[in-house]
């Protein structure tokens, strides 16, 4: 089956490699890096394909307005900002580029883990302000600590091998991988009741779906080791922010590095309190934001779109 894709709308600042490849195959491309909902609703009827990153939410009204849409492409891994059910109902294909930015998300996760362990951000901020507080910022070693990885997909797997090399004991919670797969990676498959009391660090790499929304909440936090540190380069909705702020305030959570938030950009005063908390390092959804990842993501999405318009030939026996 081939699809009609003549015109493509690219939003959210997807790497220029995407438009370049599409144009070299004769497609007409419009790039609007920052688009409002109103503008998107007005523009969308003119296009066959829409390419988004995480800023644009593709809601049923956008899909309804996209009278000529045949494909929605997510220039990234998670398709949680696209209403896939509404698209499917309209026979609109949804594609993504799941592996293209995994290394970048992994590297940010590992870097943030070290930054938490060694108080890099508060120490640098303090020195910039003219103080020399060596004792105040004594850290802890990563080596010998226990890391729990929730979700052993591409990012989780890459984090596991790197942090094992740094001397961490790695526990994995992922209902879709076997104990043997975990063993082959020198990790241990565990159930959630083993994660909470054992882990010194917990990193989140599950997709955001109904069963994982608010995964980290009052109840799960109450089972954690006092002072546990969290890294979230996955999705904001995995953490119930209200409960997380309480856990930061009472010391249940000793540190957190958060790259993603329930609402982005965050406006909710509660989220802003988390971002400003002294035990938190907050970054503006930078997991996939590297030069290399954006080139790969743009290429992968463009190649998939080009393949969809190529007539297929099948070998008949
Ligand atoms: C992803 O799902 O791969 C990332 O959130 C991509 C992005 O930063 O847009």
Domains of the chain: 7-98+291-309 (3.40.50.720), 102-282 (3.40.50.720)
Q: Helix, strand or coil for residue 180? A: helix
* pLDDT tens digit sequence for 199-241: 999 999 999 999 999 999 999 999 999 999 999 999 999 999 9
Whether residue 288 has its Cβ less than 6 Å from ligand 1 = yes
Whether residue 122 has its Cβ less than 6 Å from ligand 1 = no
The Å distance, Cα 10 to ligand 1 centre, comes to 15
Q: What pLDDT, on the 0 to 100 scale, is given for residue 283?
A: 98
Asked if residue 187 has pLDDT above 80, the reply is yes
Asked if residue 194 has pLDDT above 70, the reply is yes
* pLDDT tens digit sequence for 105-160: 999 999 999 999 999 999 999 999 999 999 999 999 999 999 999 999 999 999 99
Q: What's the mean pLDDT when you consider all of the chain?
A: 96
Q: What is the pTM of this model?
A: 0.93
CB atoms within 10 A of CB 287: 25
* pLDDT tens digit sequence for 17-27: 999 999 999 99
Whether residue 76 has its Cβ less than 6 Å from ligand 1 = yes
Q: What pLDDT, on the 0 to 100 scale, is given for residue 310?
A: 81
Q: What pLDDT, on the 0 to 100 scale, is given for residue 317?
A: 65
CA angle 58, 60, 62 (to 5 degrees): 55
* pLDDT tens digit sequence for 66-118: 999 999 999 999 999 999 999 999 999 999 999 999 999 999 999 999 999 99
Asked if residue 1 has pLDDT above 70, the reply is no
Question: What is the C-alpha separation between 6 and 193, in angstroms, rounded?
Answer: 52
User: Per the structure block, which two tokens stand in for 35?
Assistant: 């688009």
CB atoms within 10 A of CB 96: 19
Ligand 1, atom 8, lies closest to the CA of: 288
Pick from 267, 292, 4, 9: which is nearest to 19 by CA?
A: 9
Q: What pLDDT, on the 0 to 100 scale, is given for residue 311?
A: 72
Pick from 89, 83, 90, 66: which is nearest to 7 by CA?
A: 66
Place of tokens 């009204």: 61
Asked if residue 316 has pLDDT above 80, the reply is no
For ligand 1, what atom is nearest to the CA of residue 289? 8
Question: What is the C-alpha separation between 61 and 217, in angstroms, rounded?
Answer: 32
Pick from 136, 132, 140, 186: which is nearest to 161 by CA?
A: 186
Q: What is the mean pLDDT of residues 259-272?
A: 97
Q: What pLDDT, on the 0 to 100 scale, is given for residue 3?
A: 84
């Amino acid at each position: 089956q081939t699809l009609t894709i003549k015109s493509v709308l690219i939003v959210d600042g997807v790497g220029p490699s995407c438009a370049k490849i599409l144009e070299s195959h004769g497609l007409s491309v419009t790039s609007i890096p920052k688009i409002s909902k109103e503008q998107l609703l007005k523009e969308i009827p003119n296009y066959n394909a829409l390419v988004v990153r995480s800023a644009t939410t593709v809601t049923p009204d956008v899909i309804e307005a996209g009278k000529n849409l045949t494909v929605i492409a997510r220039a990234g891994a998670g398709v949680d900002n696209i209403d896939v059910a509404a698209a499917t109902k309209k026979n609109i294909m949804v594609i993504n580029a799941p592996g293209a930015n995994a290394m970048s998300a992994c590297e940010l996760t590992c870097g943030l883990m070290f930054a938490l362990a060694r108080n890099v951000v508060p120490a640098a901020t303090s020195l910039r302000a003219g103080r020399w507080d060596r004792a105040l910022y004594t850290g802890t070693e990563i080596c010998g600590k226990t890391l729990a990885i929730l979700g052993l997909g591409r990012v989780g797997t890459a984090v596991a091998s790197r942090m094992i090399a740094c001397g961490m004991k790695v526990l994995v919670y992922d209902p879709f991988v076997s104990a043997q797969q975990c063993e082959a990676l020198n990790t241990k498959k565990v159930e959630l009741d083993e994660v909470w009391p054992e882990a010194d660090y917990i990193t989140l790499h599950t997709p955001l779906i109904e069963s994982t929304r608010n995964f980290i909440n009052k109840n799960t936090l109450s089972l954690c080791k006092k002072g546990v540190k969290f890294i979230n380069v996955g999705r904001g909705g995995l953490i119930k922010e209200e409960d997380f702020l309480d856990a930061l305030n009472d010391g249940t959570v000793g540190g957190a590095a958060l790259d993603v938030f329930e609402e982005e950009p965050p406006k909710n005063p509660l989220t802003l309190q988390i971002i400003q908390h002294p035990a938190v390092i907050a970054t503006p959804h930078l997991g996939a934001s590297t030069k290399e990842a954006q080139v790969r993501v743009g290429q992968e999405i463009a190649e998939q779109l080009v393949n969809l318009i190529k007539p297929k030939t099948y070998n008949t026996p």
